[in-house]
Amino acid sequence: MIESARFEIVLGVTSLILALWAVSYNLMLGYAGMVSFAHAAYYGVGAYTVAILLQRYQISYFAALAAAPLVAATVGIITGFVALRAVRLYFSLLTLAISQLLYSVAEGWYSVTGGDNGINGIVTPDQLTDYPTLYYFVAAIVGVSLLLMFVLTRSPFGAALLAIRENRERARSVGINVKAYELAVYTIAALFAGVAGALFPLVQPSVVPGMLFWTENATPVVVTLLGGVGSFLGPGFGAFIFTGLNNSLSRDFPYQLDVLLGAIVLGVVLLVPGGFASVPGLVAQLRRRVVGEETPSIEAETKGEAIRMIDVARAVEAHAIQSEHIERGKVLLKLEGLSRSFGGLRAVDSVNLEIHEGDRHAIIGPNGAGKSTLFNLITGRMRPSAGRVWFDGRDITGRPAHVVAKAGIGRAFQITMIFPRLTVRQNLQYAMLAHRGRTVQPWGLADRIYRDEAIELLDAVGLGPHADLPAGQLSHGDQRAIELAISLALGSRMILLDEPTAGMSASETRHAMELVRRVATDRNLTLLFCEHDMSVVFGTARTVTVMHQGRILMQGTPEQIRSNPEVQAVYLGELDMDEEEAAPA
């Protein structure tokens, strides 16, 4: 009976350690969208740190426990810096290589790690030889670690991670340094994996290089999938389920771990893609079907009504877009010989352009003229092959997109870019947090910061009734309204709009551009936009620049552009011909 009780306690301690390991991994996978295959390495580093300090240097276990996460975090930040030089698949492959490299170091460094024999005979400290005491000690360490991670995920820092997960490019455009935040969460995840690894010698007297082997990385990944990536505590529950299943199978199958890992992946993918966290919802849905209840309908998409409900006066007065008065006429943006080549193609060729403060400046030209490439060069999404970009007297040539955004340049993209799984309100709140430098804060509730400002602006642009709806469920026109709201919420000195009315109806276009014109005029914002709809261009712009084959063909007032024969031949004439061909006979 006593042995059985001790075994149950050890099993519980093992589950707690695995829960901490899995939840720390979910910081990357679930919150930042990073698929790493090196998390076993930092778990192993934590275990090795404790074993080495105990066996080689006779340091107390509690001092070694404090040192282990620091060592794991140090290794994490160094190796993470290397891995994050790549993105997506290549990032994952680099982490796999890092895991194997650290395994090779552990296996071959006999004088420190014991080589392939590992470090054996690790003695549990006297204070923890009592099994209930051991359990409560581990539970306390795991509980504190989980609480710290939970606070982090709800903080403005956690909001930045969610923004990166949803849309890296949009995150950059609102002022988030994506690489820096990814490195930070990678390091934090390594730190807590180190804590879990440091607890491992309490239940196993040996630390071996196999803990760092690349196949071991499957365990936190599968446990996280089993528990539910979308839930903070889901991976923790998954750890207890996994430990129980593994223990049950170990009595009958010699390769139970491999079988269990494969079975869990198949089961999660085919039956419960949301993992354990989605089971209550699936059960409720099944119950409704059995008893014949009607499933509550969820509005899959709005109908574009938001952008037609824009209250221009309220949008102009909204606190979120208050900005300092600027003196009209000063050169705000200056391009000098700006060029960008793709092999033998010069998409932008020696462009010289000045944009004055308070101006509404349109750039027009046929498809392939280089308009979007020019915007990408200005906003830091591309580096120019030659030339300089000056903003308010500051050289921003080739600066990263988040730096350009912080300098005061906001952007709406040609293809709608929002944070689709975040709510409409969170889209604005998180953009404000990033632009105002609050996302470095690892405490506080992000969803309560700037909430009133976000709701005020959403009401003004017609999105108030949909504030708590996932942004991806809005219609195309209403998603355009979100982009307009984000641009206004940032309070940028200059706003770049890349075909802002693309995909909108005539009514939506009229309301959207009325808002843009009123805000730009009343707040002295500088507006630079490209657009194919000439009624929008001539009804909004004060200055028009025509591009053709990467070069500037002409610049002038709308009247000068409209009446210029060369512009008509190159661009406006083409549009007239298209309209004639589209007209009914």
The three-state secondary structure class of 172 is helix
Average pLDDT over residues 293-309: 53
pLDDT at 384: 94
Q: Please, what's the b/e burial string for 82-99 (b: 16 or more CB within 10 A of its CB; e: otherwise)?
A: ebbeeeeeebbebbbbbb
Identify whether residues 71 and 193 lie together within a single domain.
Answer: yes
Final residue in a domain of this structure, among 158, 182, 212: 212
In a domain, 16, yes or no: yes
Q: Which domain holds residue 7?
A: 2-212
Other C-beta atoms closer than 10 Å to the C-beta of 256 total: 16
Do residues 292 and 459 touch, judged by C-beta distance below 8 A?
Answer: no
Is the predicted pLDDT of residue 579 greater than 60, yes or no? no
In a domain, 582, yes or no: no
pLDDT-based confidence at 580, cuts 50/70/90?
A: very low
Do residues 552 and 546 touch, judged by C-beta distance below 8 A?
Answer: yes
pLDDT-based confidence at 415, cuts 50/70/90?
A: confident
What's the domain count of the chain? 2
pLDDT at 562: 85
Average pLDDT over residues 45-51: 96
- pLDDT tens-place string over residues 144-199: 999 999 999 999 999 999 999 999 999 998 999 999 999 999 999 999 999 999 99
Identify whether residues 183 and 332 lie together within a single domain.
Answer: no
In a domain, 240, yes or no: no
Q: What is the DSSP string of 258-306?
A: HHHHHHHHHHHHHT-TT-GGGHHHHHHHHHHHHHTPPPPP------STT
pLDDT-based confidence at 325, cuts 50/70/90?
A: very low
Of 472, 539, 554, 471, which is closest to residue 500 (Cα–Cα)? 539
**Cα distances (Å, whole numbers) of residue 206 to 123, 138, 256:** 10, 18, 21
Q: What is the DSSP string of 420-465?
A: TTSBHHHHHHHHHHHHTT-TT--SS-GGGTTHHHHHHHHHHTT-GG
Identify whether residues 189 and 326 lie together within a single domain.
Answer: no
β-strands 543-548, 526-530: how paired?
Answer: unpaired
Of 391, 408, 403, which is closest to residue 353 (Cα–Cα)? 391
Final residue in a domain of this structure, among 175, 197, 212: 212
Do residues 280 and 230 touch, judged by C-beta distance below 8 A?
Answer: no
Cβ within 8 Å of residue 4, ≥6 positions away: none
Place of tokens 């657009």: 531
More confident residue, 457 or 70: 70
Identify whether residues 201 and 335 lie together within a single domain.
Answer: no
pLDDT at 296: 46
Average pLDDT over residues 405-430: 89
CATH code of 319's domain:
3.40.50.300
Is the predicted pLDDT of residue 206 greater than 70, yes or no? yes
Gap between the Cα atoms of 353 and 555, Å rounded: 9
In a domain, 289, yes or no: no
In a domain, 228, yes or no: no
In a domain, 232, yes or no: no
Cβ within 8 Å of residue 220, ≥6 positions away: 21, 22, 24, 25, 39, 40, 43, 235
Final residue in a domain of this structure, among 182, 212, 242: 212
Identify whether residues 30 and 176 lie together within a single domain.
Answer: yes
